[in-house]
Structure 1
Amino acid sequence: MNTMLGSFKVPPASLPVFPVLFIMILAPLYNHVIVPFARKITKTEMGITHLQRIGIGLFLSIVAMAVAALVETKRKKTASKFGSADLFTLAGMMEFFFTEAPWSMRSLATALSWTSLAMGYFLSTVLVSVINKVTGAFGQTPWLL
């Protein structure tokens, strides 16, 4: 995998930092624009429920992956940023686990949401390895260098 960002080489272990940075950048937009807009539309205090927020985040992830798949068939070097999808998914998960869990289990529920994120990163690493092994067979160049 090419981890060059201009002339700077980003260590592969640091790549999961980028979604967190996008969440930090986009969180004020979420809190001050998206949630008030949802409150106006739904006429409820929350705007949309936690599960709806998670669903929107997952839907945006699906759309982002589908678009990336279409682009990748034509051009390998496309870089996509999924900050808004991560924002909806992670913010919704954190709010859902924190508000729906009993008081004595809130720390555990929050930790489980981060554990699910870590498992996603682990499985994506496994998926990249499998894709490289399969596409690099028979002396061909792997898709994901």
Structure 2
Amino acid sequence: MTVPSAEEAVTMGELVQRFSSTPRGARLARRLAAHQLHTWGVPYGSEASDAVTLVVAELAANAVRHGRVPGRDFALRLVHDAPAGRVRVELSDTCPRLPREDRGGPLDEAGRGLRLVAALAREWGVAPRPGPGKTVWAEVGLPGVRPGARPSARP
């Protein structure tokens, strides 16, 4: 295990929370993500906040609709990496079935979630998790932040 430098400890933030695998749990995950982003200095209603919040909403909705196992929660993990100018979103559920991008038509009412995630994220993917299930992750860039830029010191 590597110990973060003092700068990394100040400029990186992490949130981990479990939610019930219900529509209410998905809604709470989205709201908590928006609040945490604001706490990290990514203001409500900004392009970056809206992008990350939409990714969380889509992945949480998929976890509830397609990854739900009765009696099991889903977990949200957000990692804010200020020096790299990105937020990593991870949603873990206990269903082993892998997600797939739906190739439905533009007027279909469902099946657009992962296409939205792909459009908003720098990259996304699926990883195994300890125990049953998987983690769907996406890395979203924060507009206006140059990767590798050092945060300015506050007076």
Higher relative strand content: 2
TM-score by length of structure 1 reads: 0.29
TM-score by length of structure 2 reads: 0.28
Higher relative helix content: 1
Q: Which has the higher contact order (CA 8 A, sep 6+)?
A: 2
Larger radius of gyration: 1
